[in-house]
Amino acid sequence: MKEKARAFSTEAHKGQIRKISNEPYINHPIQVAQYLERAGFSEELICAGYLHDIVEDTPYNIEDIEKLFGPTVANLVSAHTEDKGKSWKERKQHTIQTVNNSSKEIKYLIVADKLDNLLGIEKGLQQYGASIWEKFNAGFEQQKWYNESIAASMYHGLNEEDIPFYFYEYEDAVKRVFSS
């Protein structure tokens, strides 16, 4: 099923590129899935890593995900999907609340996504400087609030043995990027 999810995501994101790096977009879902796989998570969660941006960024909907990958994967993707009809701040506040209150699997998916996004921002900052903030709907201060809030919420409800390695990587990246 993982290979099917990777292939589906590759086709769905065909021609899309990342904001900062201009790399093929598919590199992002692949990296998210790899964090989840290295942490030893379920096949369904790894598939959700490949598929997490499908509903937001492609013509496919959550029903397509459910039909192809089942209700567990669809529920994980759905919990991660933002409502693009809402403002940036409303969407991000909802994600913070989701991270704070959801199951550990949903936390794992969202934080893996946020880590890869933040590492891309960090690389962009090293290459292009602070001008990269202009590529986003929200600038430095809003991004700082958002990422620090995710970092503060992600441990809520988890036992120490439930915390994957990349949560610490994310926390460190938030400090590196936003300490000024």
Residue among 114, 121, 123 nearest 139 (CA): 121
Report pLDDT for 21: 84
CA atoms of 53 and 86, how far apart (whole Å)? 17
- Provide the residue ranges of all domains of the chain, joining segments of one domain with +: 2-178
Q: List, for residues 90-131, the tens digit of each pLDDT value.
A: 999 999 999 999 999 999 999 999 999 999 999 999 999 999
**Residues tagged active-site:** 56-57
Determine the residue type at 96: I
Q: Which CATH architecture has domain 2-178?
A: Orthogonal Bundle (1.10)
Report pLDDT for 134: 87
Which token pair is 99?
A: 């991270």
Residue ranges of the chain with per-residue pLDDT less than 50: none
Report pLDDT for 20: 85
Which token pair is 72?
A: 């567990």
Helix axes 104-128, 88-101, angle to 10 degrees: 130
What single string gives the DSSP state of each residue in the chain? Answer: -HHHHHHHHHHHTTT-B-TTT--BTTHHHHHHHHHHHHTT--HHHHHHHHHTTHHHHSS--HHHHHHHH-HHHHHHHHHH---TTS-HHHHHHHHHHHHHHS-HHHHHHHHHHHHHHHHHHHHHHHHHGGGGGGGSSS-HHHHHHHHHHHHHHTTTT--GGG--HHHHHHHHHHHHHH--
